[in-house]
Amino acid sequence: MKRSLIAAAMGLALVAAPAGAEELTGTLKKIKELGTITIGHRDSSIPFSYYDDRQQVIGYAMDLCYRIVDAVRDELKLPDLKVVLNPVTSATRIPLMANGTIDLECGSTTNNLERQKQVGFTITHFVTANRFVSKKANNLKTLDDLKGKTIVSTSGTANIKQINQINAERNLGMTILAAKDHAEGFLMMETDRAAAFVMDDILLYGLAANSKAPNDYVISADALSVEPYGIMLRRDDPQFKAVVDKAMINTYTSGAIEPIYKKWFLAPIPPRGVNLNLPMSEAFAKVVANPTDSGDPAAYK
Amino acid sequence: MNYHWNWAIFWEPSPEGWGSYADMLMSGLYWTLATSIAAWIMALVLGVIVGVLRTMPYRIPAAFAYAYVELFRNIPLLVQMFLWFFVMPELVPEDFGRWLKQMPNAPFYTAVISLGFFTSARVAEQVRAGVDALPRGQRMAGTALGLTLTQVYRYVLMPMVFRIILPPLTSEFLNCIKNSSVALTIGLMELTARARSMQEFSFQVFEAFTAATLLYVAINLVVTFGMRWLEKSVAVPGYIGSSRT
C-alpha cells in the first residue's frame, strides 16, 4: 500500500515537472547550456554590419542584435552570457546557421518567402528598394533609358533575379552582367563596363558616398521593387523566435529605434565619417508602427 | 543539423526567368567547358612554342621565354584576371578601351585569355622539362645526320617529348578546368558561379554545391580517361610507360 502510494506520487511528480517551468527547446536550450550566443556578422555590409577602422564589428543590425542578446540574457537569467562573433559570407550563412555555429545572422539579408522554406526571420529591420546607380553624365533616369545597354548587378541577389525578369517581360534587350560582390559591381559601372549598377538603394548610397567622386553618380528615382531585410534565425524554433521578436517589437514601440536609426543613417559613420543622410522611408516607418516579419513585398506597400 | 533538404529543387523554375535550376547549372557547365577548352587550346599552342624557345641554343628567344614563364606563373590567376578585365582597357586608347568594355561576352573572352596565358606558362615548363629529359645525344645525333634545328625538333625531339609529358599535361588540363571557376570573379556565369547563385536564390546550399561537385568530377573523369586512352594509343613499345599495358 505504502509502496504504491510512493509510486503514485512519483508518477505525479514526473508528469507535473515539465508543466511547472516551460521546458527550453532549440536555440534557447543550446544558449543556456553553453552560456554563449553566437552572432554571425558581415565584413562589409555598410552600415548594417561591418568592420570599422579598429577591426571592431559595428553597424545598425549589430546594435539591434545586441538588444536581442540583452533580451535573451534576461529571459534565461544568465547575467554572464557570452557573445561570440563569427564572420559569415552570403555563401556560408546557411550552412553555419543550419549546423548551429551561429544563432543569429545580423546583416542585410533579404527576407523572402522562398528563403523562409530554409530559415526563419524576425521582425523586419529595414526596407530597401531595388534601384540603379549610373553616371550623371550619361543621363539615365528610368528603366527605358537602359534599353539595349549593358548593366550589372551582384550575382545571387534578389536584385539580379528581378532585373532579369523585367528584362524578359518588357523586352528591354539589356545585357546583364553578374558581379561577384557589390564593390565589384560598382567598379564595373565606374569603369564603364556597364552603364548602370542595379542594387538595393541603401547599398548604392553607401557605395556612391564612399567612391572617389560621389557627385558623379546618381541613384534612380524609379524603384523596381521593395525588399525587407531581416535578422536570420533557425526555422521551426518558436521559443527563440518569440524572444527575439519581442525584443525587436520592444525596440520599435519604446522608441529606442529612433536614436539607433539616426546614429547609422543620419550621422557620419565610421570608418570614413560619411553621412548617408537617408531619412526613414515611408515603408520602414510603417513597419516601426506595425512590426511585421512578412517576407512578402506586398506587405510593405 | 537544422537543414531542410530538398533535392526536388533542381526541377523548380529558376528565378532567371527561363528554365529550371537544373537548366541554370547546365548553362554554367556549358560556359565552364567553353572557357576551359578554349583556354586549353590557347595554352597548348603558346606553351609548346614558349617551351621550345626556352630549350633553343639561342640566347634571346630563351631569355624571352624565361621572362614569359616567370611573368605568367608568378602572378596569381585571380590577380591576372583582374588586370586583364579592369586595368588593361584603361591602358589602351580610350575608344578601343570602350569598345573592349562594351563587347558582349567580355568576361568570357577575358577569362579565356588570362586562363590561357596562365596555363601556357605551366605547359611551357613541362615542355622544357620534357626536352631536357631526353638524352643530349638525340639532339647531337640529329644534327650529325645533317638535319636542321627545326627538323631535329620536329622529327627527333618533339615526338618523344609529347609522349613523356602526357601525364603531367593531363593534370594541367584538369587544373585548367578547375581554374576556370576563378572567372566567376569577373562575372562569367560558369558552373561555380551558377551553383553560388542557385544557393543564394533558393538557400539550398548543399544541393547546389553537391550538383556542381558531381559535374566537375564527371568532366574530369572524362578528361582523365580520354587522356589515358591517348597515352596508350600513342605509346612507343619498349619506351616509358608502355611496359604496363
Q: Where are the domains of chain A?
A: 24-125+230-300, 129-226
Residue A236 with chain B: CB contacts under 8 Å: 2
The residue among B75, B74, B45, B50 whose CA lies nearest residue B61 is: B50
Q: Measuring CA to CA, which residue among B138, B211, B215 is closest to residue B180?
A: B215
Residue B237: per-residue pLDDT: 82
Chain B interface, mutation test: which of A88, A93, A155, most B Cβ atoms within 10 Å? Answer: A155
Q: Which of A17-26, A199-208, A229-238 has the lowest mean pLDDT?
A: A17-26
CATH code for residues B20-240: 1.10.3720.10
Q: Which residues of B touch A88 (CB under 8 A)?
A: none
Span A136-145, pLDDT tens digits: 999 998 889 9
Cell numbers at B73, concatenated: 606563373
User: Nearest residue of B to residue A163 by CA position?
Assistant: B16
Q: Average pLDDT of A134-158? A: 89
CB A301 within 8 A of CB A127: no
pLDDT for B245: 45
Residue A3 pLDDT = 54
Contacts of A172 (CB under 8 A, 6+ apart): A143, A144, A146, A147, A148, A166
Q: Where are the beta strands (DSSP E) in chain A?
A: 36-41, 44-45, 49-51, 57-58, 82-87, 104-106, 120-121, 126-135, 150-154, 175-179, 196-200, 217-219, 226-229, 232-233, 268-269, 274-275
Q: In Å, what is the CA distance from A45 to each residue of A62, A140, A205?
A: 11, 26, 12
A23 pLDDT band (50/70/90 cuts)?
confident
Classified as helix, coil or strand, A200 is: strand
Work out the pLDDT band at A19, boundaries 50, 70, 90. very low
Structure-model confidence comparison of residues B214 and A297, the more confident one: B214
Residue A179's pLDDT is 86
Q: Which residue has the higher pLDDT, B243 or A266?
A: A266
Q: Do B3 and A118 touch (CB under 8 A)?
A: yes
Beta bridge partners of A104: A39
For A53, the 3-state DSSP assignment is coil
The one-letter amino acid code at B57 reads: P
Contact A197, A132 (CB under 8 A): yes
Q: How far apart are CA A202 and CA A223, in angstroms?
A: 12
For chain B, positions 167-186, list CB contacts with chain A under 8 A: 184-186
- State whether A155 and B18 contact (CB < 8 Å): no
3-state DSSP assignment of residue A37? strand
Confidence of residue A18 (pLDDT cuts 50, 70, 90): very low
Determine the average pLDDT of the residues in A146-162: 86
Among A155, A191, A193, select the one facing B193 at the smallest CB separation. A155
Question: What is d(CA A157, CA A176) in angstroms, rounded to the nearest whole number?
Answer: 13
CATH code, residues A129-226 = 3.40.190.10
ipTM for the assembly: 0.70
Whether the per-residue pLDDT at A199 is higher than 90: the answer is yes
Coil vs helix vs strand at A52: coil
**In whole angstroms, what is the distance from residue A131 CA to residue A200 CA?**
6
Per the prediction, chain A carries an average pLDDT of 88
Enter the C-alpha cell of residue A95: 550552412
Length of chain B in terms of residues written: 245
Which own/partner pairs from B215-221 qualify as long-range (CB within 8 Å, at least 24 positions apart)?
B215/B25, B215/B29, B215/B191, B216/B177, B216/B178, B216/B191, B219/B29, B219/B32, B219/B33, B219/B177, B220/B174, B220/B177, B220/B178
Query: For residues B177 and B38, is the Cβ–Cβ distance under 8 A?
Result: no
CATH topology agreement for domains A24-125+230-300 and A129-226: yes
* Residue B1 near residue A235 (C-beta atoms within 8 A): no
H-type alpha helices, B56-157: 59-74, 77-82, 88-91, 94-102, 106-133, 136-144, 149-151
* Percentage of residues of chain A with pLDDT beyond 90: 56
∠A30-A50-A126 over CA atoms, to 5°? 80
Of B189 and A181, the structure prediction assigns the larger pLDDT to: B189
Which pLDDT score is estimated for B240?
61
d(CA B137, CA B175): 34
**Pairwise CA distance, residues A154 & A179, whole Å:** 5
pLDDT along chain B (245 residues), means of 10: 89 81 94 97 97 93 96 96 92 90 87 97 96 93 95 95 94 96 91 90 91 97 96 83 48
> In terms of C-beta density within 10 A (0-12 exposed, 13-18 middle, 19 or more buried), how is residue B235 classed?
middle
Highest averaged pLDDT of the listed ranges A141-145, A152-156, A216-220, B68-72: B68-72
CB contact under 8 A, A178 and B189: yes
**Cα B12 to Cα B23: distance, rounded to the nearest angstrom:** 10
Distance, in angstroms, between B14 CA and closest chain A CA?
Answer: 9
- Average pLDDT, stretch A208-221? 88
**Helix, strand, or coil (residue A278):** coil
* Neighboring chain B residues of A94 at a CB cutoff of 8 Å: 199, 203, 205
pLDDT band per the 50, 70, 90 thresholds, residue A114: confident
The residue-averaged pLDDT of A207-215 equals 86
pLDDT range class, residue A187, cuts 50, 70, 90:
very high
Q: Under 8 Å CB-to-CB from A151, ≥6 apart: which residues?
A: A132, A163, A174, A175, A176, A177, A194, A195, A196, A197, A198
Strand, coil or helix: A195: coil
Nearest by Cα to B82 from A133, A179, A211: A179
CATH architecture for residues A24-125+230-300:
3-Layer(aba) Sandwich (3.40)
